[in-house]
Structure 1
């Protein structure tokens, strides 16, 4: 099994079984550990359970059994019941930026969402949004636009900035680059890599693109011998 151990600062799934319809698990008895300061690749074909496991680790979907720990703290509640302090430690970027953003908001407001939800004072929100927008290559003009006025790549840049804005300890990238061109993929992977080396971010990179994971991740795991469709 992949990396069943893990230090006290890791994001860890232990013996996790999860799914969407009782009696038909998508993820079955899987162990996974995301360590600080590194990129763990999670590989597998579409439909094998990668996204379900990612949602469990993001505290967005409760497992049927098993344990998730965040920095050594066991998680007992998920979704809106999960403690805000734990949720803020985990950033997520999903495959489809359009499905994960509010079309009524400008990119600037999208990036600011988690900071405002945490009650961050306005001057600090403005400063941090400026910082992460510059980090991902969002120009001031782009930041005034709405999702329908930008490309998928530009919107995904905003989604990555939103995930990084609260300075999470862990970042889960669920097929983050699947809908992007090669240049945007390279740019966003570089941003994430800089966060890993610069401040010790722990990353789970989820993809069916084996060459990308091979270049991006320090280790690639495929725990799907214990996953049923």
Structure 2
């Protein structure tokens, strides 16, 4: 069984069919939407980071240190994190590149956004495709606007689930996310990156009205676990 738990904002915990636990953009401490019970992970087998902004990098390095697990990130960002988690080029991907990891294959995709870390250039913002052995394929868009090459991501990887930001202001809002869902073609969409701050005005209800026919919108509460 594959489960996905929303930890608020853009943070997720993915539990794979083989029992591995992966944190995606684990901004836990300081995240006003993260449930208190989720602030201290019990275990982790890998961490995936889409870009260097604090609300995505979050506790990634600390989790990787605590559980001696891989931290996968775009090559420039991964280099900047080497002082905390060691230099390991096998964990430093770039767009279009993939890596076999645990019971999955992860591929770095394009995202239309920016990236920095402690005021330094941190490469480019990215998304992930996660192909699970014996489970679904997930597309994690990361922070992004809609862009036409999302159609290529859908064509190549055929994701079953697309995790899309909908909050507006810093990322696409519901109108753009609905077009992204159409381009990607995944039958299920998980809403992300909304309701954390007043600036993020996009809502699942606004997106639901705009989604293509037949696309299911999943909007868990923070801390809620979905069976995929």
Q: Aligning the two structures, in what range does the TM-score lie when normalised by the shorter sequence?
A: 0.3 to 0.5
Q: Which has the higher contact order (CA 8 A, sep 6+)?
A: 1
TM-score normalised by L of structure 2:
0.36
TM-score normalised by L of structure 1:
0.36
User: Is the helix fraction higher in 1 or 2?
Assistant: 1
User: Is the strand fraction higher in 1 or 2?
Assistant: 2
